Amino acid sequence: MPEYLVRCVQQHESFRKAELESLATLAGVEMDFLSYSEDTPFAIVTLPSDAAARTIISRSILTMGIYELWGSGTDHSSLHASVTSRTASRWADYAQASFRFSVDAFQGKRGSAAQRELIDGFRYLGFAGPIRMKDAELHLCIFEEYELFVPGEPKRVFLGRRDGYIPPKKPYSFEAMLDDILEFSTEMLVDEGRMSMWMPTANDEDVEIAIPSHPCLQLVSVCVQPFNKWSRRLLTYRRMPDAEVDKSVAWTKRTKEHGSNADELNAFRRKYFQGFKAPEAETSPGATPFPSETATTGANQATEEVSRQLSDLNIKDEDVKQGAKSE
C-alpha cells in the first residue's frame, strides 16, 4: 500500500496515535504505522489511497496535514536518491501541471534564500508547468527535522505530495460544542443511560454560562469542584425514554457564532489565559473620566423611580391623615 507522511501537531503527543487509529476504524480504513514517536511530529503510515487519507485527516484535530511520501533520508543527498528511486516513473504525469513547493522546518528555520536553494535542488523532476502559489495541481512540501538546541543540518528530511483537499474550518464556540455533546448523547445513549461531562466556569463571571439542556435529557446532578479563581461542574444527564419526552418543548442549537478565533469563541478560555484579571478602563493620561450615555440614562431612570416611589408614599400618608381626621 502507498506510504503517507502525517504532519502532527507537537502537543498532546500521547493522544495523536490513538486519534488516528480511532478515525481509521471509524472510516473502515486499514492503516498501519511504519514510524511513530511522541518526540517528533512526523509519522509514516500506509493507507489504501488518497481518498482514504482524506477521510481520516478531515476529522483529525491533532494533525496539520497528510502527504503522499515521495522520499525520505537523513540528509538532502539521501532524500534526492530516495525520491528518484520511489517516484521517477511518475514525474511525466506532472510534467505540464501547475505546481508549487513549500518548506516546513521543525525546530529549525531557513531564510527565503535558503528555501529557494532547497527547491532549486529538485529541478531534475522536470516540471514545465506554471508555478502557482495558490490552487496548484501539484503541491510538494520539503520537511526538515532538526535536533533541539543543536545548530547545523537537519537529522531527517522528507518530500511529500499534498492532495488538493484541505479540510474546511469554521468557527466553533464553546456553547455550540456543549449543545453538540448533548445532541450526540441523545442519539447514542440507551433509555435510562447516563452521560457526564465537565463544564468550566470562572468564579467572578458577571454572566454565568447557562447549564446546557436538551428535551430528551434530564439533568440528574451538578457537582462543583472549586479551584482558585475558577471552578468546574460535573454535569450528569439521564436519557429519558421517548414516552417521557415533552414533544412541545422546542430545542434550538446555539449555532450562531460571534468571533473567528479561540479567545473570541470561548470567554472562559480568554479569561483563563489572562489570569482572570479584571479589564482596565482605557482612559487617556490626565483625562477626567465621564459617565457614559448608558450610565447617565440608567442613573436618571433610577432617580425618577425613587421620586415616583416617594411621591406614592406621600400620597398614602396624606390619605391616612385625612382618614384619621374624618373619624
**Residues 31 and 136 reside in one and the same domain:** yes
* pLDDT one-digit tens code per residue, 16-43: 999 999 999 999 999 999 999 999 999 9
**Residues 258 and 116 reside in one and the same domain:** no
Residue 41 included in any domain: yes
Cα–Cα dist 69/53, whole Å: 12
pTM, rounded to two decimals:
0.59
Strands of the sheet with 194-202, listed across from one edge: 194-202, 230-239, 217-226
**Residues 69 and 109 reside in one and the same domain:** yes
In this prediction, residues 193-203 reach a mean pLDDT of 90
Cell of 31: 492503516
**Residues 156 and 183 reside in one and the same domain:** no
Location of C-alpha cell 506554471: 130
* pLDDT score recorded for residue 218: 94
Cα–Cα dist 63/48, whole Å: 19
Instruction: Choose the weakest-confidence range: 149-163, 206-220, 291-305.
Output: 291-305
Residue 319 included in any domain: no
Enumerate the β-bridge partners of residue 162: 67, 139
**Residues 187 and 43 reside in one and the same domain:** no
* pLDDT score recorded for residue 282: 45
Q: Is the pLDDT of residue 115 over 60?
A: yes
Picking from 136, 162, 188, the residue at the C-terminal end of a domain is 162
Enumerate the β-bridge partners of residue 158: 72, 143
* pLDDT one-digit tens code per residue, 85-113: 999 999 999 999 999 999 999 998 888 99
Q: What is the CATH number of the domain that holds 20?
A: 3.30.2130.30
Quote the domain boundaries for residue 103: 3-162
| Burial (CB count within 10 angstroms: exposed 0-12, middle 13-18, buried 19+), residue 208 | exposed
Q: Is the pLDDT of residue 253 over 50?
A: yes
Q: Is the pLDDT of residue 148 over 80?
A: yes
* pLDDT score recorded for residue 161: 94
Phi, psi of 139 (to 5 degrees): -120, 115
**Residues 99 and 189 reside in one and the same domain:** no
**Residues 145 and 29 reside in one and the same domain:** yes
**Residues 134 and 221 reside in one and the same domain:** no
User: What is the average pLDDT score of the chain?
Assistant: 81
Picking from 224, 240, 273, the residue at the C-terminal end of a domain is 273
Reported confidence tier of residue 63, pLDDT bands at 50, 70, 90:
very high
Residue 304 included in any domain: no
Residue 313 included in any domain: no
- What is the number of structural domains in the chain? 2
**Residues 50 and 181 reside in one and the same domain:** no
Residue 178 included in any domain: yes
* pLDDT score recorded for residue 113: 93
Q: Is the pLDDT of residue 260 over 70?
A: no
In this prediction, residues 276-285 reach a mean pLDDT of 55
Cell of 32: 498501519
Picking from 139, 162, 185, the residue at the C-terminal end of a domain is 162
* pLDDT one-digit tens code per residue, 286-313: 444 444 444 444 445 545 554 554 455 4
Identify which of 195, 169, 192, 198 has the alpha carbon closest to the alpha carbon of residue 262: 169
* 272-298 burial code (b ≥16 CB/10 A, e <16): eeeeeeeeeeeeeeeeeeeeeeeeeee
